[in-house]
Amino acid sequence: MILAGLSNLSGISTLAMAIGQQITMKHIVGTWIAAFLTICIFSFLYDDNPLYKFAEHLFVGVSAGYIIATTYRNVMVPNLYGNIKTGVMILVKTGSFQWQYLSFILAGVMGIMLLMKLVPKFNWIARWPLSFMVGTASGLGIVFTMEALVLKQVDATLVPLLVRTASNSIQWSSTVQNWFMVLGVCSGLIYFYFSKEHKGLFFGTFSRIGIYVLMMAFGAAFGYTVMARVSLLIGRMLFFRDQWWPVFKATFGIEG
């Protein structure tokens, strides 16, 4: 029946649907595949099964293939081959070597060295570009992380503990909020201070408050995680409602 519907559609070539889209044969086949794979993935909720495994492996394979192809086309071709080619052309035409192109040759060589990881006999060669990458990332990470994630964040906690309005009266909402934030940050840090036992009036009380602050943060994170996972489900259901259902009707010739 599906095949009959599809062959019927291929004769028409396109259909104008209620949702305002032109539904083509490519669209119909793509939507049916997407619907089938979505159900395959959701079938895991009932139990592990071969259909789920098939969809999972297909997803991993297609993703890896897509990333390799995109990186080759968008990064290696214009940024590596393109620049090396320009350097070689200049060398051939003028006879002088432009030193700025050396960095691209070095990057290409290091890329090839990294691929040596695949050859067991020469996999030690891959350690050199890897150590270069680790060193660069660490150097950049330390400098920028310190400024953006430590100093700026500390700066953001240096807030007035008594906020006044323009008429010099106390603005209670901001004052309470600032107290809560400063106490929350300090007690959270005290909880992670391990050189002193968490006992007594100061360390005992504040580390206890620190736990509550952390629990609140975990609660917020959990709530947002639930929202994210539900959003993914909503996304697939919207796909079934807005994209698959019109295609289903077109496939089986259902009107209305």
Partner 1 sequence: MFEKLQNLDRRWIFLFVLLSVIIPLLFPLGLKLHTSPPVEDIYNYIENLPEESVILVSFDYGPSTEIELNPAAKAVVRHAFRKKIKVVTMALWPMGAQMSQNVMKEVAEEFDAEYGRDYVNLGYKAGGSVLLLSLKSGFAQQFPTDVNNVPLSDLPLMNKVKDYNNCALVVSLSAGVPGIREYVLIVNTQFGKTMAGACTAVTAPEMYTFLNSGQLMGLMGGLKGAAEYEKLVGIEGNARKGMDAQSVVHLVIVLFIILSNIIYFVGEYRRKRME
Binding residues for partner 1 (CB under 8 A)? 45-46, 63, 66-67, 70-71, 73-75, 77-79, 82-83, 136-137, 140-141, 144-145, 147-149, 152-153, 155-156, 217, 220-221, 224-228, 230-238, 241
Cβ 101 to partner 1 shortest distance, Å = 13
Instruction: Give every CB contact of residue 129 below 8 A, 6+ residues apart in sequence.
Output: 110, 111, 113, 114
Cβ 200 to partner 1 shortest distance, Å = 30
- State how far the Cα of 255 lies from the Cα of 66, in Å rounded to an integer: 38
Residue among 9 and 243 whose Cβ is closer to partner 1: 243
Q: Which two tokens stand for residue 200?
A: 């007594």
Cβ 58 to partner 1 shortest distance, Å = 13
- How far CA 171 is from CA of 114, 155, 178, 179, 181, in Å, comes to 60, 21, 11, 12, 16
- How far CA 130 is from CA of 115, 125, 140, in Å, comes to 11, 9, 15
Residue among 115 and 148 whose Cβ is closer to partner 1: 148
Cβ 197 to partner 1 shortest distance, Å = 30
Cβ 235 to partner 1 shortest distance, Å = 3
3-state secondary structure of 253: coil
Q: Is 89 exposed, middle or buried (0-12, 13-18, 19+ CB in 10 A)?
A: exposed
- Dmax of the chain from CA atoms? 83
Residue among 200 and 223 whose Cβ is closer to partner 1: 223
Helices (H), 43-171: 50-71, 82-94, 102-115, 127-145, 152-157
Q: Which two tokens stand for residue 164?
A: 């006044």
Residue among 102 and 233 whose Cβ is closer to partner 1: 233
Residue among 47 and 255 whose Cβ is closer to partner 1: 47
Cβ 127 to partner 1 shortest distance, Å = 20
Residue among 61 and 141 whose Cβ is closer to partner 1: 141
